[in-house]
Chain A
Amino acid sequence: MVRAVSAAETAATTYASAIHAEGLRVRAGRRMAVDGLDLSMDTGVHGLLGPNGAGKTTLVRSIATVLRPAGGTLTVLGEKVNGRIDLRGLRRQIGYLPQEFGFYRRFTVREFIEYISWLKEMPAAETPGAVQRAIERVGLADRADHRMKTLSGGMVRRAGIAQAIVNDPRILLLDEPTAGLDPDQRMQFRALLRQLGTDTCVLVSTHLVEDVAAACTDVVLIDNGRLVFQGVPADLAAAAGEDAGAGDSAAERGYSAILRRHRETASSPETAS
């Protein structure tokens, strides 16, 4: 599959990593959901794990430029997001599937993806081809001309992924992309992720540890708005060690073991800040 390459992409990159956060603080409502996060991510598939309320969605939304950081720095594709008024250039290179993916029910799949590609300011000449390609990549070609409202939950999710990748983003943010997908579709989706990860910085927020273990090149685990662990999936599995945490697979056991250890150290008096 040939990927369209824009001039901005062929320009020499002057930044160290696609996404870089230092002491990042982001508010979600009144709560500081991301609170002093340090993180660096580059091309590849990054699985973002963490318990409910850990700040996963808030982190994704801040990278997606929905939320402004309340403190620290967030650099995306070399551009500091803090306080910037004009995010237009950056937004052209972002693909985003929100946790709650809204869409226009009366549009067909093709029309909706085309609409989003227009909003992403893609060149008109490239649009029909890019739309078709995105639809094919998520396996919705046979439903391309059906109304969005006729799609099942899993198909809606796939349409959501299609709109996120239609502009060949350099940053792809997927918040709970596998919710509603059946096992077969999840396997196809993992294959798609691996493919995308070769030239894109993909951040997948999920609860499903085995998705991360199977498809990600990098695991990011956060808790209470802070980075707890970052490493390859094998490290996650190895982290379980001898003390068996809860979980059915090595990765899940590693996940719960790391969390438990982190919480223990965080609550012990000598390391608490």
Chain B
Amino acid sequence: MGARILRIELRRSVALGAAALIAAVGVFVLFASNPPYGFWMELVIFQRDILQLTWPLALAAGAWQGIRERRSRIEELLATTPRPRWQRVLPIATAMAIAAVAAYLVMLAGAAAHLRHLDGYFSLGAIPLIALGALAMVGAIWLGLAIGRLLPSPLTAPMLAVIGFFSLAVSPMIVAQDSRDPGTFLLFPYLQGPRDGGFALQMLSARANLSQALWFAAVAATGLALFATSRPSTRVAAVLPLLLGAAVAVPAMPSTLSVAWIQDRRATEVVCTDDEPEVCITRLHSHALDQVRGPARQALAVLAAKLPPAPTRVVVQTADKGPEDPQPRDTLAVRISFFEDGVEYTSEDLLFLMLIGAGVPPCANLMGTREKPETEYLAARLVVAAWLLDRDLAAAQGRDEGPEGPEGPLAREALTAVRGLAADEQRARVTAFRDAERTCAEGDRLDMLTGAAR
């Protein structure tokens, strides 16, 4: 195609300047509109979401480039050159496509600085989302080239940016007949994350990705064809890919958007330390393994010293939706909803959190509801942690369940009562508490600890 010509076009067209501008706008929006992203997937989805802005910008950049021949009044000269138009436009179309992809990737790289954990879990499901975002940008820039060529006015580019932005903002409201988002939303360049949140644990189904890829490719193909054709009669044929793409992609799309989003099972799998005693954490939070390793082993040591037989491994469940099954006896299971809210825990905090309830996860049947928690049950679990650590109730931050909550005063009172008992009695009662927790047996846990001592 002429690598030298491509190099000239890359340097002298608007390609790289437009790419830098779009990337800068995108990075700004990605930074300004959200607190730091907890996970890669959140960033990746949000970058797709703001295609509502970056897609029209790419369209406008394409249009600006597309009017170059007219603006430069070079059409007369070009008309006398032997090289066919479709060959002539290949270098500039390639340069613009490179710019579109570069803009998308640079935007992602730039916004990655707004990630809380750069080394966090990178879902394989993010790769098609990124690739399709870049493909959508290529489609926009090629479509822009075609529109700029067909409507060679200096107003075309700014008008396209504005019209594109507003029509992308308005059209979903027209398409959605009821409260459910139809699957045809995937026809739009931008993508809203799953309605129920939990972006980090979800990904698009292969079906959704494939049908969308087909559609985006069709849009890009039509844009390029419209730009490359030289005769009006062939322009009609250039619309063919678009029609074909729609004919195949629309029926292939999932019926609703909520079906398109599926669980990322790899994210909730646990990864463990290589060495003993084993400390495990969901893959989504694997970047925190080093942070929890120390406190976890300390927690095992405390349990081994004060409450044998102790578990020999720790599983930190951090996902919103974790397994509800009772954990095996050899496992200290702790569910910590940390990291999401950006609270940095100290090792002391983590140790305390792991020993709440003697390292057994809370029983759903005893916890009450979020609106009306069973404070006595939660207080009992706190007492056990403080007893095991032989210290006063520590301040564990950011927890519903903790000394700062309504159960705090209750727990402090109960702790004093337990410490008033004989040492053997103390151990017997905590052991009984743990056994009850393991089976989630009904019963007043606080009474089990303090009983007649109160």
A associates with B: yes
From 65 to 79 in chain B, residues with beta carbon under 8 angstroms from any chain A beta carbon are 68, 72-79
**A66 B79 Cβ-Cβ under 8 A:** yes
**Quick one: closest A residue to B72, CB to CB?**
A102
B83 at the interface (CB under 8 A from A): yes
Size range of the interface on B? 20 to 34
**B12 A119 Cβ-Cβ under 8 A:** no
From 1 to 24 in chain B, residues with beta carbon under 8 angstroms from any chain A beta carbon are 2, 4-5, 8, 12-13
From 77 to 94 in chain A, residues with beta carbon under 8 angstroms from any chain B beta carbon are 87-92, 94
**B82 A91 Cβ-Cβ under 8 A:** yes
**A107 B8 Cβ-Cβ under 8 A:** yes
B88 at the interface (CB under 8 A from A): yes
Interface centre among B68, B73, B75, B80 (most CB of A within 10 A): B80
B76 contacts which of A90, A102, A106, A114 (Cβ < 8 Å)? A102
Bound Cα distance from A112 to B68, whole angstroms: 14
**B78 A119 Cβ-Cβ under 8 A:** yes
**B74 A119 Cβ-Cβ under 8 A:** no
Bound Cα distance from A87 to B79, whole angstroms: 11
Give, as a whole number of angstroms, the nearest-CB distance from B388 to chain A.
73
**Quick one: closest A residue to B88, CB to CB?**
A119
B81 at the interface (CB under 8 A from A): yes
Give, as a whole number of angstroms, the nearest-CB distance from A99 to chain B.
9
**A91 B81 Cβ-Cβ under 8 A:** yes
Q: A66-B76, A124-B2 are in contact. Are A104 and B68 (CB under 8 A)?
A: yes
Give, as a whole number of angstroms, the nearest-CB distance from A159 to chain B.
12
- The interface residues of chain B lying within 8 Å CB-to-CB of A102 are 72-77
Q: A114-B4, A114-B8, A118-B5 are in contact. Are A104 and B80 (CB under 8 A)?
A: no
Give, as a whole number of angstroms, the nearest-CB distance from B16 to chain A.
12
- The interface residues of chain B lying within 8 Å CB-to-CB of A90 are 82
- The interface residues of chain A lying within 8 Å CB-to-CB of B8 are 107, 111, 114-115
**Quick one: closest A residue to B78, CB to CB?**
A119
Bound Cα distance from A196 to B88, whole angstroms: 28
**A104 B72 Cβ-Cβ under 8 A:** yes
- The interface residues of chain B lying within 8 Å CB-to-CB of A189 are none
Give, as a whole number of angstroms, the nearest-CB distance from B5 to chain A.
5
**B12 A106 Cβ-Cβ under 8 A:** yes
**A119 B73 Cβ-Cβ under 8 A:** no
Interface centre among B68, B81, B84 (most CB of A within 10 A): B81
**A65 B80 Cβ-Cβ under 8 A:** yes
Give, as a whole number of angstroms, the nearest-CB distance from A33 to chain B.
16
B80 contacts which of A66, A101, A118 (Cβ < 8 Å)? A66
Number of residue pairs A-B, CB distance < 8 angstroms: 68
**Quick one: closest B residue to A120, CB to CB?**
B81
Bound Cα distance from A112 to B269, whole angstroms: 58
> How many interface residues does A have (CB within 8 Å)?
32
**A116 B81 Cβ-Cβ under 8 A:** yes
Bound Cα distance from A92 to B82, whole angstroms: 6
- The interface residues of chain B lying within 8 Å CB-to-CB of A96 are 77, 80
Interface centre among B5, B77, B84 (most CB of A within 10 A): B77
A182 at the interface (CB under 8 A from B): no
A89 contacts which of B73, B75, B78, B82 (Cβ < 8 Å)? B82
**B2 A118 Cβ-Cβ under 8 A:** yes
**B83 A121 Cβ-Cβ under 8 A:** yes
Bound Cα distance from A96 to B82, whole angstroms: 12
A98 at the interface (CB under 8 A from B): yes
- The interface residues of chain B lying within 8 Å CB-to-CB of A105 are 72
- The interface residues of chain A lying within 8 Å CB-to-CB of B68 are 104
Bound Cα distance from A119 to B84, whole angstroms: 8
- The interface residues of chain A lying within 8 Å CB-to-CB of B72 are 102-105
**Quick one: closest A residue to B84, CB to CB?**
A88
Bound Cα distance from A152 to B90, whole angstroms: 31
**Quick one: closest A residue to B79, CB to CB?**
A66
A100 at the interface (CB under 8 A from B): yes
**Quick one: closest A residue to B9, CB to CB?**
A115
**B82 A121 Cβ-Cβ under 8 A:** yes
Give, as a whole number of angstroms, the nearest-CB distance from A185 to chain B.
21
**Quick one: closest A residue to B13, CB to CB?**
A106
Map CB proximity to B onto A108-151 as digits: 1 under 8 Å, 0 otherwise: 00010011101111001001000000000000000000000000
Q: A104-B72, A115-B8 are in contact. Are A98 and B77 (CB under 8 A)?
A: yes
A64 at the interface (CB under 8 A from B): yes
Q: A89-B82, A119-B82 are in contact. Are A100 and B73 (CB under 8 A)?
A: yes
Bound Cα distance from A247 to B331, whole angstroms: 110
Bound Cα distance from A94 to B81, whole angstroms: 8
Q: A115-B8, A118-B5 are in contact. Are A98 and B83 (CB under 8 A)?
A: no
A115 contacts which of B5, B80, B82 (Cβ < 8 Å)? B5
Give, as a whole number of angstroms, the nearest-CB distance from A88 to chain B.
4
- The interface residues of chain A lying within 8 Å CB-to-CB of B77 are 96, 98, 101-102, 116, 163
**B76 A100 Cβ-Cβ under 8 A:** yes
**B80 A111 Cβ-Cβ under 8 A:** no
Map CB proximity to A onto B143-175 as digits: 1 under 8 Å, 0 otherwise: 000000000000000000000000000000000
From 45 to 104 in chain A, residues with beta carbon under 8 angstroms from any chain B beta carbon are 61, 64-66, 87-92, 94, 96, 98, 100-104
Give, as a whole number of angstroms, the nearest-CB distance from A240 to chain B.
36
Give, as a whole number of angstroms, the nearest-CB distance from A180 to chain B.
16
Closest CB pairs A-B (n = 3): A102-B73, A102-B74, A119-B81
7 A-B contact pairs sorted by A residue (CB < 8 Å): A100-B76, A104-B68, A104-B74, A115-B8, A119-B81, A120-B83, A121-B82
Extra contacts, 12 of them, besides A94-B80, A105-B72, A116-B81 (Cβ < 8 A), are A92-B82, A98-B76, A100-B76, A101-B77, A104-B12, A104-B72, A107-B8, A118-B2, A118-B4, A120-B81, A120-B82, A127-B4
